[in-house]
Amino acid sequence: MRTTSALLGALCAGVLVALGASVPLAHGDTRPLTISVSEIKDGMKGYGLTVFKGTQPERFDVEVIGILHHFRPGEALIVIKTPNPRLDVVKTVRGMSGSPIYIDGRLAGAYAYSMSQFEIEPVAGVTPIDLMLAELRRPIPPGFWPLERGAPLPGAIGTQPSPGPAHASSIETFDGPPGTYDLQAHARQLADRLGNRLDPAQSMARAATPLMMAGVSDHAAAALRKLVEPLGLDPLQGGGGTDVPDPDSPKHFVNGGGLGVELARGDVSIMGLGTATYVDGAGKVAAFGHPMLNGGDSDIPTCIGRVLWVNASALASHKVGECARPLGALVQDRQTAIIVDENVTAPTIPVDIDIVGAVGAPKTHWHSEITDDKFMGPGLASVVLGSVIEATTSERRDLTWKLTSRIDVGGHGTVDLEDVGISAGGAPDEGEWARSKLVSTIGDVLNNPWEHVRIAKVSARFEVKYARDLWRLRGVELLDPVVDAGAKARLRLHLVPQIGPELTRVVEVTMPSELAGKDVDVEVVPGYDVVPDLAPPETLDQLLMNEPKQTVTARALVLQFRVPSQGMAYRGRVTERLPAFTLDALRPQNSNGGPEPFPSWSRTVVPLDWYVDGRDKVKVKVRAVVR
């Protein structure tokens, strides 16, 4: 009996201790487990927790230098030095952001800021814990999906969320009309809004989050760096993720343990590495002490981070690491902390790419999963695409390529796209993928203003031919300088291949009766340079219908000229070459919501077996009609 009572007493005591350690202030405690800024004085000493190797946190000493009051609006900053044999060498370390700092045995905040780039002392700024706990308690707003339903996406057990009204635009939403997404423009917009460009005059700046990259090609890494460095992210080769979770890694986040934010995983993986500051015992974690992307309500996969090494650098030292075990999701991305919930599984976009034509390539099928973030989603799609194509097809030879892709949009069917190009002396430039229809369509879908939808899957097939399959338009010869209205004018095209003799081809274009008595400029241009007239989309379905129609067929020449009549775009439909009285009749008297007129063109498409570079113009005289 005594033994049983003793065991029960010990068990209860252990439970009480565990509960007391899981909340900022346990019932009955005489002093809190956190220390406020007002209690911290110059010279106070304490310790921090971070991972220097593996997954287990280690202690390092800290000493308070002082407090920067009103460091940011409503925020103070605790300035500390960290005397430690390793930190004396590496100074402030990127990847240590979030390392909990304890003063007087109580949690004071998170290691989060550095004094400068070229440091000679290990001095850091600490975000006070009360600001981080306020974010930990912040509720997810009603209607924010998928978190409100709690079901992992995709392929989870539970009810899939149905598409609903679009959530309010966030700071990361692309600012542009639907159907005009541009990745480079989106990156510039975010940089301007967030204002995270490095300022040499700034004495205390947040420690950049190292992005550990694995499977990313050199050119793709350079392109990613241009996209994310203004956002306070630091892409680094030599880390990322692993296909198999480490069975010996922790099952849950711990104070001072490594925490990764998985932007991409699989054959190409990209992970933002930092440190967990405070774990509440119920699955929620406050970390970093500064934002990741400053995206507010978020849903990005997270993982247990494993540190391989702390790399010393005079410019900026950083941790090198990878994901050891997928766990939870980033649900709040705020100014003073990121908040992670172990109980949420964030959605991802599976991306499968098959390479055809690279004979002897050791790997021709690639798979990755990327976050469906409005900015990082299309950006990462570009990085994944560029990385696997460069790794598989790069040779010092000219090549002709075609990328056919299919995007499966949940509840709205599929969109089939085609991108083509010629590359001189190696793999296509990374900019090709940022401008591709595939990346632009992903951006259009994720940033659409009408509905929240999930991209269920992206499948792509990249066909490469090691030849310069390009003909040059050397000139256009007009065979019929003067024609009757309604008759055809003949043009002779002079086409020069990369190797071989010139080829000529005679084509015809009809001069409509409305051009009688006029001189008509007939342009001859490649099909890929011609943008068809499309109505501005008013629904997501109309947007998806427009996406494959952004250009005329690539292997073609287009003969085009302006006509006097106008076209009309209205309610997602386009009608070409209407008389002026029709537009007047359709234009409402008391509203601005009428049809949108646009100049009309007459276009004749000439299919070819090759891509053509160059353009030309001839003038055709149309005889007046004699009455």
26: tokens are 């346990």
Tokens linked to 94: 């990127």
How high is the pLDDT of residue 579? Answer: 61
Handedness of CA 210, 211, 212, 216 (dihedral sign): negative
* Tokens describing residue 366: 């690639």
Residue 422 binned pLDDT confidence (cut-offs 50, 70, 90) = confident
pLDDT at 172 over 90: no
| 513 secondary structure, DSSP code | G
Evaluate the omega torsion of the peptide bond into residue 146 and state whether it is cis, within 30 degrees of 0: yes
Residue 374 confidence (pLDDT): 93
Tell me what pLDDT residue 424 has: 80
Q: Report residue 333 CA to chain centroid gap.
A: 16
CB neighbours of 437 closer than 8 A, spacing ≥ 6?
405, 417, 418, 419, 547, 548, 550
Residues 6 or more apart whose CB falls under 8 angstroms from that of 360 comprise none
Cα-trace Rg, the chain: 30
Predicted TM-score (pTM) of the model is 0.83
Nearest to 495, CA basis, from 487, 484, 504, 486: 504
Condensed to tens digits (0 to 9), the pLDDT of residues 93-148 reads: 889 999 999 999 999 999 999 876 656 788 999 999 999 999 999 987 776 654 44
Does 158 score more than 60 pLDDT? no
165 vs 245 pLDDT, higher one: 245
Neighbour tally for 323: CB within 10 Å? 30
Buried b (16+ CB within 10 A) or exposed e, 573-611: eebbebeeeebeeeeeeeeeeebebeebbbbbebebebb
CB 62 within 8 A of CB 54: no
- Residues whose CB falls within 8 Å of the CB of residue 372, separated by 6 or more in sequence, listed in order: 299, 347, 348, 349, 446, 454, 455
CB–CB of 319/273 below 8 Å? yes
| Pairing status of strand 106-114 against strand 123-128 | antiparallel
pLDDT at 624 over 50: yes
Mean pLDDT over residues 54-81, rounded?
Answer: 93
11-25, 45-59, 352-366: range with lowest mean pLDDT: 11-25
Half-sphere exposure of 52 (CA within 13 A, CB side): 12
Give the Cα separation of 49 and 59 in Å (integer): 5
Residue with tokens 């989050």: 209
Find where tokens 């240590």 sit: 96
* 174 vs 187: CA distance, rounded Å: 9
Q: What are phi and psi of 198, to 5 degrees?
A: -65, 130
